[in-house]
Every structure is written in structure tokens, then in C-alpha cells.
Structure 1
């Protein structure tokens, strides 16, 4: 599943806002998705604040994940990158899966919006991380072959559960 066509809706710069369920921590950030030269990979630059925690990270999306879908490598302050999996769940929803975290992204929630639902494992059960007000709003449209929607600037992988 190396072809990036289904991911073109995430190419843009986005402002993201939301709240963590249960503790009311505010999430505010910006993320930019862009196609890399050769058009086989997408880069995602993340700059988000969750409460008092500031996270800056870089992600690379492309190639095939061993379980299907696209591989997604996240680089932040950790010594090793986090490997996640991104799949097309249905015609409009992308499913991101990492260590104890998963996200459903709907890049067709509107022409200038993307809906996101973050979940994490808590005491062995999946629970929502962001409440129903978690959204991404397009800041700029990138000049690519097709420019559509994209980014949820939220920590990923084990960073949410730790």
C-alpha cells in the first residue's frame, strides 16, 4: 500500500485544539503535512502544547507497514523513533495505531476542517483522550498535485500513555 493517493487529504498546515477527557488539559498546536521529493513519503512537523508539556516532533509516513497500511515513524526527544501504522479504515477515515494509542482522522469533515478522535489504553480498556471538540482547522493549503486536508498535532505512541 505504498501509493499515497488516499493520504493526499492530509497535505496542509493545520491548527488543532481540544481537551483531554477526565483532566481537562487543553491541547493546542500546529501540524504541517507535506509530500517529500520523489512523492513516496509524507513529512509531518508537529508543534503542540498539552497543558504545560510542549512537544515538537517530526514524522515520516510512507512505505509499507509489516501489518499492512503505511509505516509512520515519529521522531521526538526519545532516543529511538516510534513506529506506528496508518491505514484507510473506510472511504473517508484514516486509522492511526501505535503503542497503546489509536486515532481516527476524518479529513473530509468539511472543506477547512478535519475531525480527530484520539483513544488510549487505560487499565486495559480503550478510552477517549480528546473530547468531542477536538478539531483541526486548515491554516494554509499546500501547493501539490492535490491539496486537501490534514493534521492532528497531538503526541503519539507511548507519549500519550506516559
Structure 2
């Protein structure tokens, strides 16, 4: 995917979203809160603000998505959270209404059991643009993947 096409896709997820989900291994550990995506003036960077709880643990973060890597057809996504952690992932717009996220085990430490694992997610946007769904997975070897988090998003006014 080229730079201009990838940047145009950023608008698909712009908005404020009610976030609801759970850890797959422990469905009683709920994920609740809001995620907000907005374009920085100029439209080159997507700012993602996270304000959720994972169980009873607050997770507040700001993520900047937008350094385009043409070799991978993806953006670098850097997140800074309330625990002082900095995580780096790749975010790639894929087929229509689909984004793929990949990164290391340092992603979402509040929900992790093993920070050495790789993680990935497929974010699917509903045709009407009012809902999204993300299925997160993790892997210790990069070949076999296990479900990790199941999260739904509903667009807020």
C-alpha cells in the first residue's frame, strides 16, 4: 500500500468509541471505557487516546500513529501509558474496513501474563462505520497464536 492510500484510510477509525470486551482466558476480566481517534492538524498523524479499565486496572494512554514505512506498507504506532511504558507496534490498513496491528509483548501490560510474547490484532470496521471489533492474539514462538482479548467498539456521538 502506498503512502497516500494508507493515510486516506486513517479517517475510517476517527471518532470517539465506547470500548467493551474481555480477556479470552478469563472472561470475568472485563475491558471497559473509551477510545478516541482524531487526526492531528494536517492529517499526517492519527492520535489515539485510550481511557479504559482492564478488570480493576486503569489503562490511560496516548498513541501516535503515522510514521509510514513503505517497505512494510504500515505505520509505526508509539504508545505512552499511565505506567510510564512506551510500546511500539505496526498498524497496517489492509483489505477494506480492516486494520492489522502487530507488536511485542510489552503491549497492554495490564492485560499481559507474559511480556515476552508477540501480539497481533485484526480490527474490523462494520460497513456502516458505527461499530468495530478487535480480536487480539499472542504467541510465544511467532507461529502458533492464542486468543488474548476480544474487544468491541461502538461509535459515540
Instruction: Provide the TM-score with structure 2 as the length reference.
Output: 0.78
In structure 1, what is the Cα distance between the partners aligned to 2:61 and 2:139? 22
Distance 2:100 2:137 in 1: 11
Counterpart among 48, 59, 66 of residue 62 in structure 1: 66
Contact 1:2 1:62 in 2 (8 A): no
**Cα deviation code 1:71-125 (max 9, x no counterpart):** 1111114556211101122122100111111111112354421121111125763
Residue matched to 1:106:
124
The 5 Å alignment of 1:127-138 reads: 127-131=146-150, 134-138=151-155
Change (3 A) 1:52 1:123: farther
What is the TM-score of this pair, normalised by structure 1?
A: 0.76
Q: Distance in 2 between matches of 1:79 and 1:114?
A: 28
Q: Distance in 2 between matches of 1:135 and 1:80?
A: 24
Q: Answer 1 or 2: higher relative contact order, Cα 8 Å, separation at least 6.
A: 1
For structure 2, the 5+ residue unaligned runs are: 105-117
Q: CA RMSD in A?
A: 2.0
- Supply the distance in 2 between the matched residues of 1:64 and 1:95 (Cα, whole angstroms): 14
TM-fit CA distance, 1:48: 0.9
**In the comparison of the two structures, how many residue pairs are matched?**
138
Pair 1:38-2:21 in alignment: no
Conservation of the 8 A alpha-carbon contact between 2:12 and 2:129: no
Give the equivalent residue in structure 2 for 1:5: 8
Aligned equivalents of 2:92 and 2:155: distance in 1? 22
